Structure formats: structure tokens, C-alpha cells
Structure 1
């Protein structure tokens, strides 16, 4: 999920904040492996920096997101949350060189306890996630963000490893629900009327899981009556990541938000662990062992 909550003038460069941070990980910290690809958390500041470089290639070079002049010069996508999040990586171990040279995909993970100590969730600048979290005081939430993969690695295998890592991490920390922004390209919601209306009518989060865009940012998703929606065409119009979340059992919040800095239209994805369909639990394993069997 791509999430951008700060405009280009308010991005805080905290990459150096990680330099003095003690980050140790054993050699057996790999969460999954398929052939030459493996997934694990970043082990040091250099790997986080390399992940930020991958994010720049995808979000700025490819998607034309706007970042500050210093970040443009350094070719990095950086913000203040990077210093407190865990950074999930996919690495191609067949690439010769240091691990930093092998990073081909990344996800950013923020647990509720960490967010509360550090000032809140990233997506709270777009959506009223505080009300959702407070309604479930007995549950542990995790925010997903900054999902990206280099173009040549956008395959089923890479996506499976990212989900293997997310699932293993969620189990490790007893996470009950995940959420984060899913993005449509462009800043004109009407260009996605079919897909947004389909999400609104079919998988909108309700009752205890209901969550809305912040009132001052709220853009309606209800642009077409349900009888006018062709489900097959609507599914084809969904970004692959949002479609993947939907297949897992995710819901979407009410209202979209236009992110001018990242040039996207965002919706909030909400995925209670209890909603994950049995076929996916069986596929990845209730203990996240699906792709961990070959890890030594």
C-alpha cells in the first residue's frame, strides 16, 4: 500500500536517526524463501537506506511523486516514520554484492504500541483511524505502508514473499488487524468511478469496523448506483494490490482521499486477521510456514 501523508514541504529527513540505532538480527531471521528470493526485516541503517532508494525509483521516478529538493538530490523517499517502523524487504540473493544491492521490494510495518509511543499512526492524517482503534481496545493493530517492488520483480513470487513476511510478522507480534492506504493512480476520483463505487457498495467496512476519511478530505466513492456496476469490469479496473487485499478478506473505509504529493487517490484498507479467508491461511500456513520450510 502506498501511503503519503506529508506534503513535499513537510517531509522530515530522519535517515540519520537510524544510524546510531542498535539494530541486530541473527543470520536465521529470514521469514521466507522461494528460490533465489528471500524476505526478512532490514538489519541495519544501510539496508533501510537501500529500501528508501527502491521507494524513490518506484514512487518518484515511475509514479512522479513529489519530494523535497534534498531528497531529489539524494534519490531517496524518506519521512519521519522511517525511524520507528520495521522495514520488510525482499532480496534477490542471486545478485552479487552486499545485501543493500539485493533489495528489490519493501513494505513498511508499524505496530500499534510503537505508533502510540511515537505520536500516532501515519494514515491518521487522511483517515480517522483513531476512532477505529479505540473501538477495539482489546485488539492489536498494525499499519502497512510504502509497499513497492521494482518493475522487473513484479511477479506472483515476489508478492507471495511480501505476504509471507507480513503474515509471519503479524503472528510474531500477536496482531489482530492490519490497515493502510491502497492507492489508485491520479488525483481525479471520478476517473475511477467504477472501481470506487464497486468497493463502496460491496466491501465497505461497517459497524464495528467502520472507518471514514477525515471530513475535510473526504471524497465520495459512491459515484454509480449498484445496478449500474459490472462486477467483472470493476474487478479488472482495481489496482492489483487492492484486488489482492480484497481476496484476502479486506474491507475499505468510507470515502477516498486525494494525495496531491504522491498523485494518487487513496482508500483505507482494513483487514481483521479473523477475516482472512481459509484458503489463504491454508496456503501460507497458520504458522506462516508455507515458504519457511527451506530456511535453515
Structure 2
């Protein structure tokens, strides 16, 4: 499902909300490390630039099959772009406008916004409804469409993406973060080591259990537990997945092959209350560690 979002503005509830991070152009920086900083998109032009970065990564690098209009415009665009906030990583050492400084992006969708805007993106692949129904007292937030330009795929950039999401979640009283994370390619067996490690060691259970939709589920149990070398498995994982595991994230049951995006997707589930204490200390319980 795609819409022509070239002229869309930021979501109304964000742009017009008193004190919203999206409306604080001078004070909305959520994290900074060296010449890199993270904040929310401030304008339709910046959202458009983030969509251009997504196109470069998803279509040009990973061979995602996008719509003819997306290919013509060289933008990765879908219906959720209108209702999500867009977290950016910018390299401030690059001369030019902010749109030219964007090197990474992440989409943030709060539960109350999703409830009035067609639901969560990941519901098309995973049974998120059942997970949310089990926790009526908690506020969920979906993280999605994460991408970083090749030259910036470092620990520092991943730290900033996390810092931005963490600061945003604190500001909006989020209890649980979740979202799809991707392995490149549509053959899960090519990632047998990493997927099997996730299945045997960090699968979400009990009140946090969540599975891929039955008609889409591909097993992650591709190797016996005793045959999985943990060190090699972690090395084989995408940096974002590895970063979430360090924080204490769990993984849903089963993977989903997304042929359009040429990926194998898993579901990340990260309750705020389960985040490792040492990382809360590192980033700051008030998200202030990298904010200035």
C-alpha cells in the first residue's frame, strides 16, 4: 500500500502538540556523538530526504521491489509515513541543508496513533494484536524502516538511533518497544546460525510471546542448540539486531520472508522494564547521556 506523500506534513498530533519534540526546532536534539546528532524530522522536506535515504538502501543496495512511482521518484514511501514520526541521524559536518546531512533514519509509531490510523506496519507479518491485548495497561511503540547509509554503519550510529528512540519513548511514556528487524535475503537457511541462536536463546515467552502469522511463519529452529556457536552467531547478525540483544530484547516465534524487500524479518520485543541496567546507566535514566 503506497500513497503519494510528497506534499504531506508531519502528523497533526505531533506538529500541533504543545511541547512536542517535533515542534522544538532549536531544542529537539535527542542525542549527539561527535559530528552526528539524532532528532525528529522538522519538515516535509526532511521526511522526503529520509525517504530518499531509504530508497538508496532498500532499493538500490538491497534490491527491494518498490512501486513504479517510487522508482520514478527515487523515494521509499508508504501509507505509514503520514502518521509516523521520523527519527533522523544527521552528519553535521556535511556542508549544506539538513536534508543533505541525513545519513540514517527510523520510523516511530505510538500505539494511540496507530489505533486511529490503520494499525501497526508489523501486523501484516506478526500477530501483534494478541501481544498488545495481553497488556492493556501498557503503551506500545513500533520501530520500523530502520536504515543507515553504508559509510555510517558503525556502533556510534546505532547508539544514536537507540538514544533517539529511548528519549522519545520516555517523553511519551512508552512501556514497550517492538518492530521488525531484517536479515538480507529471502532464504532463511542462509542465516541458520543466527536465526537458530535467536530461537534457542532469546525467544519471547509467556506474557511476551508473539508469533509470525501462521500462513507466513518460517521456522528459525534450523540448527540444534548444541550446534550453535554463540560468538559466531552474534557476529553474523545485523548490527541493529545485535544492539537490541545487548539491551535485553526478545525475539518473536518464527521469521517472515518479505519478497518485496528481499529480506527475512524477525520481530523484536523490548519492554522498557527489561532493559539491562548497565545500558540505562550508560545512556542515562533520563536519556540525557548524549543529549548535549
Q: TM-score range by the shorter chain?
A: over 0.9
Partner of 1:159: 158
**Match of residue 277 from structure 2:** 278
Distance 1:168 1:38 in 2: 13
| Equivalent-residue separation in structure 1 for 2:166 and 2:36 (angstroms) | 17
In the alignment, structure 1 residue 18 sits paired with structure 2 residue 17: no
Distance 1:96 1:235 in 2: 36
SS at 2:81 equivalent: helix
CA distance in 2, matches of 1:105, 1:214: 29
Mapped partners of 1:158, 1:232: distance in 2: 22
| Contact 1:105–1:149 under 8 Å retained in 2 | yes
| 2:261 matches 1:262 | yes
Contact 2:204 2:253 in 1 (8 A): yes
What is the aligned partner in structure 2 of residue 204 from structure 1?
203
Equivalent residue number for residue 72 of structure 2: 73
Cα offset, 1:144, TM superposition: 0.2
| SS across alignment from 1:29 | coil
CA contact (8 A) 1:11 1:67 kept: no
Deviation per CA, 1:241-272: give whole Å up to 9, x if none: 11111111000000110000010110101001
SS in 1 for 2:268: strand
Matched, 1:183 2:207: no
Post-superposition shift, 1:161?
Answer: 1.4
**RMSD between aligned alpha carbons?**
1.5
Q: How many residues are matched?
A: 284
Quote the Cα distance in structure 2 between the aligned partners of 1:48 and 1:220. Answer: 36
What's the CA shift string for 1:122-173, capped at 9, x where partnerless? Answer: 1000000000011000000000001111111122222221111111001000
Match of 1:90, SS state, is strand
Farther-moved stretch of structure 1 (263-272 vs 92-101): 92-101
Q: Which has the higher contact order (CA 8 A, sep 6+)?
A: 1
Q: Secondary structure at the match of 2:179?
A: strand
Gaps of 5+ in 2: 16-22
Q: Per-residue deviation at 1:19?
A: 7.7
Q: Distance in 2 between matches of 1:15 and 1:80?
A: 12
The Cα shift of 1:20 comes to: 9.8
| Counterpart for residue 147 of structure 1 | 146
Q: Does 1:85 align with 2:84?
A: yes
* 1-structure distance, mates of 2:118, 2:67: 23
Q: How does 1:1-296 map to 2 (within 5 A)?
A: 10-18=1-9, 23=15, 24-292=23-291, 294=292
